[in-house]
Amino acid sequence: MDERESVPQPQDDEERLVCPACLELNHPEACFCAVCAAPVGWFATIGPYERVFAYGFMYRRAIAVQPCRIVLITMWLICLPYVIAGALVPLGSVECEPAISVPLFLCVAIPHAVLLYRVTKTYLVRRRSGAASVAPSGDEGTPTDEQQ
């Protein structure tokens, strides 16, 4: 069964939401796109449960699609403080209980370091391979490095 058939389609006279990632039409009450799971509704950005999925989509998109330079810089600005803080605790630079320092390092520093590595690797590999000149589907409005 096609995944588009399982989602209730709006009537012709209803307004439809357009997904910013894949440009699919969605039901007006949808929080996420039925095709690519991108956040499309206003509630996806303010609902506590839905907001987690919106962040997840943002991080997955930064890893899967070649990020432009500003996305790469933003990911470094978001993740680097977590990597530094998580690494300072086990080294003893910050006083903390030993029972907290190792889980803090494992749950904070390592995931952010992996995310930084993957985003940077994706940026550099796709930039070198010449894929920067071809925008993936749904990213026609995103400038590539050669256009910046």
46 shares its domain with 77: no
Overall pTM > 0.85: no
CA angle 23, 115, 40 (to 5 degrees): 25
Mean pLDDT of the 75-101 span: 79
pLDDT of 94 reads 64
97 and 109, same domain (yes or no)? yes
Q: Pick the residue with more confidence: 81 or 132?
A: 81
Are residue 45 and residue 73 in the same domain, yes or no?
no
Q: Is the pLDDT reported for residue 148 higher than 50?
A: no
**Domain containing residue 22:** 1-64
Residue 144, in any domain of the structure: no
In a domain, 44, yes or no: yes
Q: Please indicate, yes or no, if residue 120 is contained in any of the structural domains.
A: yes
For residue 144, name the pLDDT band (cuts at 50, 70, 90). Answer: very low
Same domain assignment for residues 74 and 60: no
**Do both 55 and 108 map to the same domain?**
no
> Does residue 97 share a domain with residue 54?
no
The residue from 11, 42, 64 where one domain ends is 64
The pLDDT of residue 141? 44
Query: Residues 46-84: pLDDT tens digits?
Result: 888 888 888 888 888 888 887 888 889 999 999 999 888
